[in-house]
Structure 1
Amino acid sequence: MTSSTEMSAMLKKRITLASLGEKEWLVLLLWFGLSILGTAKEILDGNINNYLVFKHVFLHVCEQKPLYISYPAEYQDVNLYGPIFSFIIAPFAWLPDKAGAMLWVIANAAFLFVAIRQLPLTRIQQNLILLFSSNELLGASSYLQFNQAIAACIILSFALILKGRNCWAAFFIVLGTLTKIYGIVGLAFFFFSDNRWRFIGSLLLWGLVLFLLPMLLSSPTYIIHSYKEWMEALSFKNEKNVHFEQGVLLQDISALGFIRRVFKLQHLNNLVVIIPAILLFLSQYLMLHWRHNSKFRLLLLCSTLLFPVLFSTSSESPTYIIAFPAICIWYMIQPATKWNNALFIFALIVCSFSHSDVFTPWVRHHIAVPYALKAFPCLLIWLIIIYQILTKKFLPPVSTHVAADTSALNT
């Protein structure tokens, strides 16, 4: 039995979190305010290189120039997004660079905000997810990234399938996949669909439409060739990312990078880690009998959001805007125990703040970044999620009559 002291601590925690989650103004201030301030600083400092890369995807598609080579006169680095990205960035590319960059960041923040609002959780839980994830959003926004939208696509594919809106769920899966590959993990929710044939048909339809759409800006031959070059560019990038000793320290911030760097296994074959990870991920479907259980569904969503970040060599610090909301969702549906609280705080500090000024420069430059420390708490919680699913921890205790959907809420 739970002691009165434990009950009192649990109640106090819930009241505290509930009080924090009720402050709508604070949610909006941190979510959009931090994002806008961080972006404004980068714009004033002239650090909008990523936006210039994105803008020129549209311009280069229109001019039918190669999408995956360097253009040092226009920007640093190379584009790694699919041709459909030209349509996504088009409305912003027409604007002056500074205005376009700011509106681009706001649009991405708003897109993820709306996606989180669609989750089958209480308003307070949604607010807490937004609050706790706001620092990750700040990091992604400061780099003018598109990862916020990829996270939104994955979350929306989950939420829309649960609402029976298979066609739109398929749209977001295809859009995310043809933009940054990561979106393909939305297929993990296939078995939650109430009309799988309609879902499959929608995937094929949107796949055709979004594949052909960039041809309106250029030509069929150019777009088909661009997709081939895209695959080659991604393969080359993967090979480059693993050679961190040659200076690619800010890449491969993943479970792969963490294992490779901590254990000094520079030449570790990615498949040694990825194949067991895939098998573990697939093992969750042994519990599909419980696919109508809302907690099981949310745990699978968390696992799915974490997977592409943890097992991709292209993961960077800003990529964790995809993974960290999963940590927050997981926490929201856990019992209010000291262990869960400590684990979440550990993840919040090490994952969300390890690349920030909360850590000293020495720790950041000698430990957090070189050893891909940001990935460790996410890997730990991903393994815990797998364990919770395989051992049916999503089910309520047999001795209680509390509803499965509400017994474990932190609020």
Structure 2
Amino acid sequence: MGELQLGNTSFLIRAGGKEWPVIILWFGISIFAAGKEIWNDNINNYLIFKHVYLHVTTLQPLYLFYPEQYHDVNLYGPVFSLLIAPFSMLPDHIGAMLWAIANTTFLYFAIRQLPLTRIQQNFILLFCSNELFGASSYLQFNQGIAACIILSFALILKGKEFLAAALIVVGTLTKLYGIVGLAFFFFSDNKWTLIKGLFFWGIVFFLLPMLLSSPAYILQTYGQWAEALVIKNNKNVQGALLQDISAMGFIRRTFHLQNMANCWVIIPAIVIFVSQYMMLPWRQNSTYRLYILCSALLFPLLFSTSSEAATYIIAFPAVCIWYVIQTPAKWKTAVFIFALIFCSFAHSDLVTPWVRHHISVPYAIKAFPCLLIWLLIAYQVLTKKFLPKGNKKEHALIYLQTNNKQV
């Protein structure tokens, strides 16, 4: 009961059957992408990250422009100063490369902890490699955020709620996206341990940056962070082409609804997301749990105006996880290939420059396949597609067994 099937078997085995080529591709593509940018001295994002640590230690504001040091502004919380600190102490090019490798390794480890077969895990790594290339090129931390969410899910299932809580807190206090780790709360068998862990790590990670600076500085910085995020949201909505690659951005640009308020999309999305918890009586079902993981990974990207191409390393693992747990069907493979082309490759050199400049970027096409799959996941959950085929009596038996009731 609740066991995963090796969906779309022949495709999965062909793609993920050999492990070493997948590992070489995963790490090789990340090192190549980061190395290319480092060689060209194009490490602006890393310089922003490095200066989070430097600015915290010198009590400088984190969210101002520092054009003499880097372009753009920092939007990460003060906790990030702790994560980037070891790399900031190294020469820039060495620190940047090790930073890229660390994030790639963290996400690799997280995917390996998923309750899936080795072939399924290999498939996910293989087909997420293009998104990894983009994220590594920009020396992003989005791989780390994806890892925090995925690993918090895996740890909760393994009964390691205290460690899971640490990842949820770090992800939240760094980029807010990590808060979706709370979506797995009901899968925990030790909910009080998880709650206590959230409080404990929340206090610890709130206080730790004060050791690098001062309590007054950190308190002030959190207020400035909130203001910076509001300003960033307003700029994104106003039409920054490389930002707001979200469901709202797609709808605004495609249907020329520039003044559409985010709430018209976000409120129904929250209702749809929460409605999936109506199936909690089947919370021990492995497929249902993975559906919720997929939904949680997709949600912050689809419904955040800060979504950009490099952040889809958080969302695309969900697309791959969704596919590997499906029962075989040609239409599901077609949906996956559609997502691979129009999401993962939408901003790559595999599509023509004309397509990128006139379709993919202006219309936020990257978000569209993910939105379709997110809605499909909600439909599959609400119609109990995660249950094995059978009659109502068999489903009632599964319900009773799942909830540890006497039959």
Instruction: Give the TM-score normalised by the residue count of structure 2.
Output: 0.94
The residue aligned with 1:148 is 143
Q: Which has the higher contact order (CA 8 A, sep 6+)?
A: 2
1:137 lines up with 2:132 in the alignment:
yes
SS at match of 2:388: coil
The residue aligned with 1:242 is 237
Residue by residue over 1:105-152, the C-alpha shift from the partner in whole angstroms, topping out at 9 and shown as x without a partner, is 000000000000000000110011000000000000001000000000
The residue aligned with 1:5 is none
1:174 lines up with 2:139 in the alignment:
no
Structure 2 unaligned regions, length at least 5: 1-5, 399-407
CA 1:376–1:12: 2 relative to 1, 3 Å = closer
Among 358, 374, 377, which residue is 2:350 paired with?
Answer: 358
Residues in 2 aligned to 1:229 and 1:395: alpha-carbon distance in whole angstroms: 47
Residues in 2 aligned to 1:194 and 1:44: alpha-carbon distance in whole angstroms: 49
Residue by residue over 1:350-399, the C-alpha shift from the partner in whole angstroms, topping out at 9 and shown as x without a partner, is 10001001110011011100000000000000000000000000001006
1:190 lines up with 2:152 in the alignment:
no
RMSD over aligned CA atoms reads 1.6
Matched AA of 1:331: Y
Among 360, 373, 377, which residue is 1:381 paired with?
Answer: 373
CA 1:327–1:13: 2 relative to 1, 3 Å = closer
Q: How far 1:197 moved relative to its partner?
A: 1.2
Residues in 2 aligned to 1:117 and 1:15: alpha-carbon distance in whole angstroms: 21
Residues in 2 aligned to 1:362 and 1:45: alpha-carbon distance in whole angstroms: 26
| Percent pairwise identity | 69
Instruction: Give the TM-score normalised by the residue count of structure 1.
Output: 0.93
CA 1:12–1:283: 2 relative to 1, 3 Å = closer
CA 1:125–1:72: 2 relative to 1, 3 Å = same
SS at match of 2:128: helix
1:391 lines up with 2:383 in the alignment:
yes
- After superposition, residues 203-222 of structure 1 pair within 5 angstroms as 203-222=198-217
Residue by residue over 1:154-184, the C-alpha shift from the partner in whole angstroms, topping out at 9 and shown as x without a partner, is 0011000000001001000000000000000
The residue aligned with 2:111 is 116
Among 33, 36, 40, which residue is 2:35 paired with?
Answer: 40
Q: How far 1:14 moved relative to its partner?
A: 2.1
Q: How far 1:18 moved relative to its partner?
A: 1.2
The residue aligned with 2:330 is 338
Residues in 2 aligned to 1:319 and 1:267: alpha-carbon distance in whole angstroms: 24
The residue aligned with 1:227 is 222
The residue aligned with 2:403 is none
- After superposition, residues 70-85 of structure 1 pair within 5 angstroms as 70-85=65-80
Q: How far 1:12 moved relative to its partner?
A: 12
Structure 1 unaligned regions, length at least 5: 1-10, 405-411
Matched AA of 1:186: G
Residues in 1 aligned to 2:193 and 2:137: alpha-carbon distance in whole angstroms: 40
Residues in 1 aligned to 2:349 and 2:61: alpha-carbon distance in whole angstroms: 39
**Matched pairs, number:** 390
Matched AA of 1:259: I
Residues in 2 aligned to 1:112 and 1:305: alpha-carbon distance in whole angstroms: 13
Residue by residue over 1:18-44, the C-alpha shift from the partner in whole angstroms, topping out at 9 and shown as x without a partner, is 143121111112111111111111111
Q: How far 1:330 moved relative to its partner?
A: 0.2
Matched AA of 1:113: Y
Residues in 1 aligned to 2:8 and 2:367: alpha-carbon distance in whole angstroms: 27
1:22 lines up with 2:14 in the alignment:
no
SS at match of 1:82: coil
The residue aligned with 1:8 is none
